[in-house]
């Protein structure tokens, strides 16, 4: 079974620009969560999508948004980039049912904002 695929692996953007990151979950997984990882703040939850609906959202500004498509693929968008948005963005898929199914992370997208 193929794992979680994130594209692109690396991105360099300038302050004020916007960026879109993509995530393809494990086949059959309907839940996609996004996390931001930085040396200072560690791993922080951004949001979760399940069946094309945002289920939960972390404590991030509205510049961070996402969506999920009918095939469970997900995208996250960050608008008006700031230097502090430089981070590793991790997508994780899970079966998403009522049980506490574990997260399967992708390799991440390393975003650098200059």
Partner 1 sequence: GQQVMQIPQYQHVQEGEDFTTYCNSSTTLSNIQWYKQRPGGHPVFLIQLVKSGEVKKQKRLTFQFGEAKKNSSLHITATQTTDVGTYFCAGPPPSGSARQLTFGSGTQLTVLP
Q: In terms of DSSP bridges, do strands 87-94 and 109-113 run parallel, antiparallel, or are they unpaired?
A: antiparallel
Site string for partner 1, 7-46 (x = CB under 8 A): ------------------------x-x-x------xxxx-
Helix (H, G, I), strand (E, B) or coil at 44: strand
Q: Which two tokens stand for residue 45?
A: 């939850």
Site string for partner 1, 64-103 (x = CB under 8 A): --------------------------x-x-x-x--xxxxx
Q: Which two tokens stand for residue 107?
A: 């390799």
Beta carbon of residue 63, minimum distance to partner 1 (angstroms, whole number): 20
Q: How many CB atoms neighbour CB 62 within 10 A?
A: 7
Q: Return phi, psi of residue 35, to 5°.
A: -130, 150
75/88 with CB nearer partner 1 = 88
Q: Where are the alpha helices (DSSP H) in 1-114?
A: none
70/99 with CB nearer partner 1 = 99
Site of interaction with partner 1 (CB under 8 A): 31, 33, 35, 42-45, 48, 55-56, 58-59, 90, 92, 94, 96, 99-108
């Amino acid at each position: 079974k193929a794992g979680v695929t994130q594209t692109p692996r690396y991105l360099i953007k300038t302050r004020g620009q916007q960026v879109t990151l993509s995530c393809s979950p494990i086949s059959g997984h309907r839940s996609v969560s996004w996390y931001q990882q930085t040396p200072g703040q560690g791993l922080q939850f951004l949001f979760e999508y399940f069946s094309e609906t945002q289920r939960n959202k972390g404590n991030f500004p509205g510049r961070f948004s996402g969506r999920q498509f009918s095939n469970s693929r997900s995208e996250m968008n960050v608008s008006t980039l700031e230097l502090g948005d430089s981070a590793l963005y991790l997508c994780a898929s899970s079966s998403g049912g009522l049980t506490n199914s574990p997260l399967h992370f992708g390799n991440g997208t390393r975003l650098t904002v200059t």
